[in-house]
């Protein structure tokens, strides 16, 4: 299916999605500032929390989730950091793409412009799933703008995704499964998701067709170049690839890597095991 803009199927659908997006802030337990950054690729929306003088920490969400999905992590991670939760351009959220981005360098340039617009000379970058791929891509192109990177179950990036995952993401289905059924498949057994979040994802399923580049696996040579301090966390039950094989490859190639498999978690580890994830991230960010 050829990607196109705008990503919302109808104006009415966009309005319903935006209402669900705003409702998500009932789950954020900290104040936030809404910021819009103009880039050559379009307007990028950012939700920022934490002390204005805190070290900058930029969040990149998983595909379709939007910046609002960090509700289980934002309070702990913004206590001492200035957190900038970005809506990825071309994806669900409040960012408005003015052109399709179809090259890796486009995404790196876009993020560099977001950093410039936020006056971040050097900050840390945290990405979940697709956001992890974006973070690694930025680390390759502009390592001088980053202090540390955190990768949470990065999509592709380190290890090829399973055939089933590739087929599910690439081939249009005659019907779109409900958000509840999708998250039941990719989350650890017993995980209970906030109904406000499920409703938001249902609005994505009904009214949104993200226009984003499919994530790729980085070569051995590329991963060897990433000598920034990096934290890699993958759920023990991850289904998009074998978590042990992914971590083994990353440990073999990346010079300054801390990696851990998180028990009782699959792909949505930020919501499945938020306390463990938040603790591991803060320990890493606060270490020398």
Instruction: Tell me phi and psi for residue 134, to 5 degrees.
Output: -60, -40
User: Cα dist. 210→2, 66, 166, 272 in Å?
Assistant: 11, 11, 16, 25
Tokens of 99: 């052109």
Which tokens belong to 178? Answer: 């409900």
Under 8 Å between Cβ of 186 and 161: no
* Whether residue 267 lies in the annotated active site: yes
Give whole-number Cα distances, 163 to 23, 47, 134, 152, 219, in Å. 36, 35, 22, 21, 19
The dihedral over CA atoms of 162, 236, 262, 131, expressed in degrees to the nearest 10, equals 10
- Running DSSP on this structure, what letter comes out for residue 161? P
DSSP string across 177-192: --HHHHHHHHS-TT--
User: Which residues are tagged catalytic?
Assistant: 267
């Amino acid at each position: 299916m050829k990607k196109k803009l705008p990503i919302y199927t109808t104006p009415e659908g966009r309005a319903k999605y935006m209402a669900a997006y705003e409702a998500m802030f009932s789950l954020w337990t900290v104040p936030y500032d809404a910021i819009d950054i103009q880039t050559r690729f379009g307007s990028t929306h950012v939700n920022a929390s934490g002390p204005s003088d805190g070290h900058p920490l930029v969040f990149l969400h998983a595909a379709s989730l939007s910046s609002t999905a960090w509700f289980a992590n934002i309070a702990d991670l913004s206590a001492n950091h200035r957190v900038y939760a970005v809506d990825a351009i071309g994806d669900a959220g409040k960012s408005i793409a003015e052109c399709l981005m179809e090259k890796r360098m486009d995404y790196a340039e876009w993020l560099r412009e977001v950093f410039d617009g936020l006056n971040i000379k050097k900050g840390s970058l945290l990405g979940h799933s697709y956001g992890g791929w974006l973070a690694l891509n930025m680390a390759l192109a502009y390592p001088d703008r980053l202090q540390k990177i955190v990768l949470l179950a990065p999509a592709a990036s380190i290890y090829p995704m399973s055939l089933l995952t590739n087929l599910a993401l690439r081939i249009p289905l005659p019907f779109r499964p409900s958000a509840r059924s999708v998250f039941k498949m990719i989350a650890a057994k017993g995980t209970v998701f906030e109904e406000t979040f499920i409703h938001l994802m249902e609005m994505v399923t009904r009214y949104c067709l993200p226009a984003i580049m499919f994530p790729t696996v980085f070569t051995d040579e590329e991963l060897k170049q990433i000598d920034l301090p990096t934290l890699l966390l993958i759920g023990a039950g991850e289904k998009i690839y074998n978590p042990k094989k992914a971590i083994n490859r990353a440990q073999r190639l990346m010079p300054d890597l801390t990696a851990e498999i998180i028990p009782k978690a699959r792909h949505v580890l930020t919501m499945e095991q938020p306390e463990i994830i938040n603790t591991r991230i803060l320990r890493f960010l606060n270490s020398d």
